Amino acid sequence: MGERKNCKTCSKTDCSAKKRREGESEEEFRERQRLAQRLCGIKRRIAVLSGKGGVGKSTVAANVAVALAAKGYSTGLLDVDIHGPSIPTLLGLENQPIYGEKEGLIPVDFEGLKVVSAGFLLRSQDEAIVWRGPMKANIIRQFVSEVLWGELDYLVVDCPPGTGDEPLSVCHTLECVDGALIVTTPQKVAAVDVMKCVNFCKTLKIPVIGVIENMSGFLCPKCNTVTYIFRSGGGRELCKQMKVPFLGVIPIDPDIAYACDVGKPFVRDFPESPATRKILEIVETIEKKLPTQKESDEQTKEACL
Ligand code: ADP
């Protein structure tokens, strides 16, 4: 896994890391090549975005990644939510040390899923990370570039919330993001956040896989019916206006809250839950839109370069 690809001997003639760009210094070119070599074995890069924190972005990212890995895809999950890394909690990996070798960081194994989280750098779960501006960009870059992912079908990236510098750094460092999942809540105020996320993707030329409305209604564990606390249908309507796919709703479900709190992915522990069905549908959409077979892979890579 520690083996680094070599641009000089690589047969990919269309790769942007083959040649020095105009105005690029030798040092910048080497750095870009180093990064490209690290990411070279990843077939599909998926960014999970949200306009603000607390909407279930990490929950969606973790469960999509677990479901992809369970389907037999070689999958990585990168949690770059540097202010509130919740992936360790969601997967029961709190206080998990992360090891490195000379070549880079070795992801933590979760039932075959390769996980790297900013949370693994904290000494304790309740410690806060206070990153200053340049450090933030640096840690993001390091995270993305210094991990020994090896060959991956999918890398699911839990991005920092919002549409500012931090998610921008993540997407720039990833170079080519094949698709974005946008997570939102049903309140009217969330609509503005979705618009910002969609525009963020448009500016960076990232195809939007779709928008997921989380915490939409409450699933009663006694009678199994969903009560809509906020007006429903807003997400679908907005997606129509913005011309991006709407992937559906996930209700507030006490089983999800429980699974998240005890560090177990609900897609594995609650196979019958409506949320699990929705995540599996999303995974099918990802398989269709971002297949990992070679021919279509080459097409997307070309489009990204
Ligand atoms: P974000 O990444 O957007 O900050 P998280 O994924 O960490 O949000 O979710 C915040 C909390 O909300 C989680 O601890 C989880 O327990 C809870 N949660 C997320 N989605 C649901 C849901 N559909 N039903 C119940 N609880 C949920």
Q: Secondary structure of 83-110 in the HEC alphabet?
A: CCCCHHHHCCCCCCCCEEECCEEECEEE
CA 64 / ligand 1 centre spacing (Å): 14
pLDDT in tens, 28-53: 888 888 888 888 899 999 999 999 99
Q: Secondary structure of 76-89 in the HEC alphabet?
A: EEEECCCCCCCHHH
Which residue among 52, 57, 59 has the greatest number of ligand 1 atoms within 8 angstroms of its CB, and so is best to mutate?
A: 59
Place of tokens 């410690």: 127
CA 61 / ligand 1 centre spacing (Å): 11
Which residue among 260, 266, 273 has the greatest number of ligand 1 atoms within 8 angstroms of its CB, and so is best to mutate?
A: 260
When mean pLDDT is compared across 93-97, 213-217, 279-283, 298-302, the lowest value belongs to 298-302
Average pLDDT for 99-127 = 85
Average pLDDT for 211-215 = 93
Domains identified in the chain and CATH numbers: 41-182+250-290 (3.40.50.300)
pLDDT score at 2: 46
Tokens for 230?
């906020």
For residue 253, give the ligand 1 atom closest to its CA: 24
Average pLDDT for 115-122 = 87
pLDDT score at 115: 97
Residue nearest to atom 16 of ligand 1 (CA): 257
Please provide residue 51's backbone torsions phi and psi, each rounded to the nearest 5 degrees: -70, -30
Q: Which H or E run contains 191?
A: helix 190-203
Residue nearest to atom 20 of ligand 1 (CA): 56
Average pLDDT for 116-142 = 75
- Max intra-chain CA distance, the chain: 65
Residue nearest to atom 4 of ligand 1 (CA): 54
CA 257 / ligand 1 centre spacing (Å): 7
pLDDT score at 5: 64
Report whether 256 contacts 54 (CB < 8 A): no
Residue nearest to atom 5 of ligand 1 (CA): 56
Whole-number percent of the chain with pLDDT over 70: 90
pLDDT score at 46: 98
Residue nearest to atom 22 of ligand 1 (CA): 252
| Whole-number Å distance between alpha carbons of 179 and 42 | 13
pTM score of the predicted model? 0.90
pLDDT score at 294: 53
What residues does ligand 1 touch, defined as CB less than 6 Å away? 50, 53-59, 84, 86, 214-215, 250, 252-253, 256-257, 260, 275
Chain centroid to CA 206: how far? 13
Closest by CA to 69, choosing from 11, 12, 17, 110, is: 110
Closest by CA to 48, choosing from 166, 144, 147, 160, is: 160
Which is it for strands 179-184 and 42-50: parallel, antiparallel or unpaired?
Answer: parallel
Residue 295: other Cβ atoms inside 10 A: 7
Pinpoint the alpha helices (H) of the chain.
26-39, 57-70, 87-90, 133-145, 165-174, 190-203, 234-242, 254-261, 266-269, 274-289, 294-304
Q: What confidence tier does 305 reach under pLDDT thresholds 50, 70, 90?
A: very low
Average pLDDT for 229-251 = 86
Tokens for 111?
């039932």
Please provide residue 202's backbone torsions phi and psi, each rounded to the nearest 5 degrees: -60, -45
Amino acid at 135: M
**213 bridge partner residues:** 184, 249
